[in-house]
Amino acid sequence: MKKYSLLLIAFCMVITTVFVQCKNPKTDDTQPETQINSSTSEVPSQVEQYIDSSDVKDIDSLETNIDEPEPIVAEKEIKTEKPKSPVIDKKTTTEKPESPVVAKPETTVESPKPVENDKPTPVIVDKPQDKVVEKPEAPVNAAFTMKSVKATVQGTSSLHEWESNITKIEGKGTFELEDEVVTLVKDAEIKITVKGIISEKGDKMDKKTYETFNSDKYPYITYSFNNAAVKTNDSQAVQMDTNGTLSMAGVSKSVPISAVGKKLPNGDLHLTVSKKLKMTDFGMEPPVMLLGTIKVGDEVTVNFDFILAKS
């Protein structure tokens, strides 16, 4: 038992020297060897009488085992160096996302290019604007009346020229307006009462006129037309041309008429008409007076000066 206890004491002393060497790595490698040798040298002097040769072999084996902690220090150094390599790998992994980050803004910069190709889209926006402009230009119909009128019939005779006033006249129809401007007069009719024609020469002349028109049977002279284009220039001058039907003394004929005038500030139309007609074209015989000593000329001129207004 004493033999084994001394062996245990020697083993413990060796272990303590190993731990001391591990705690102080800066010490030279020669120190543990001297300490081990000193410890081993002391052991035989004290327990020489109790240790056999076989036991000495065991102690030698322990000394060889005591040298093993040196690679343990080397392993620790290797273990400490190993984490350095993954740290470098982490940097490489952090550098990898930088390449896609740079690539993404490049794709976003190229993406708006197709937007520039969509420039024809404003052309589509302009088309509905044209439609909106066309809507107010749609024609609007408004009835009109003859607001004021001055009309005369002028002629000649073998004795002198004559003139009669048309005192009873009516007019009605429809204006077609675009942006408050009259562009068309349609469905118009002008009616003159024959017995409203009064001459300056007196009743004898008037009676001959009524007989010529056969006023008892045909009391009215009418002129009607369906459409008359109205043209207005920048100075508000107006021209109206139409081809209507003139009926008098029971005969109707197509008669073209041109009217000129101007557009008034309130939107009314001031027009004048002058038209030459032959009585014989409508089956009428020119009047004869004083046993044929005074004979009225076949051609007469009808003059109109009137204002058309919206009713």
> What pLDDT is attached to residue 196?
95
> What pLDDT is attached to residue 13?
81
> What pLDDT is attached to residue 125?
52
> What pLDDT is attached to residue 122?
56
> What pLDDT is attached to residue 252?
96
Range with the lowest mean pLDDT among 78-82, 118-122, 143-147? 78-82
> What pLDDT is attached to residue 50?
44
Say if residue 177's pLDDT is above 90. Answer: no
Q: What is the pLDDT of residues 221-263, one digit of tens each?
A: 999 999 999 998 988 899 999 999 999 999 999 999 999 999 9
pTM of the prediction?
A: 0.55
What class has domain 140-310? mainly beta
What's the average model confidence in pLDDT over 278-304? 88
> What pLDDT is attached to residue 223?
96
Please report which confidence band the pLDDT of residue 30 belongs to, taking 50, 70 and 90 as the band edges.
very low
Please report which confidence band the pLDDT of residue 79 belongs to, taking 50, 70 and 90 as the band edges.
very low
Say if residue 299's pLDDT is above 80. Answer: yes
3-state secondary structure the chain: CHHHHHHHHHHHHHHHHHHHHHHCCCCCCHHHHHHHHHHHHHHHHHHCCCCCHHHHHHHHHHHHHHCCHHHHHHHHHHHHHCCHHHHHHHHHHHHCCHHHHHHHHHHHHHCCHHHHHCCCHHHHHHHHHHHHHHCCCCCEEEEEEEEEEEEEEEECECCCCEEEEECCEEEEEEEEEECCEEEEEEEEEEEEEHHHEEECCCHHHHHHHHHHHCCCCCCEEEEEEEEEEEEECCCCEEEEEEEEEEEECCEEEEEEEEEEEEECCCCCEEEEEEEEEEHHHHCCCCCEECCCCEEECCEEEEEEEEEEEEC
> What pLDDT is attached to residue 129?
56
> What pLDDT is attached to residue 89?
46
Q: Any idea where the domains of the chain sit in the sequence?
A: 2-86, 140-310
Q: What is the pLDDT of residues 86-129, one digit of tens each?
A: 444 444 444 454 555 444 544 454 555 554 555 555 555 555 55
What's the average model confidence in pLDDT over 260-286? 93
> What pLDDT is attached to residue 203?
87
Q: What is the pLDDT of residues 39-51, one digit of tens each?
A: 444 444 444 444 4
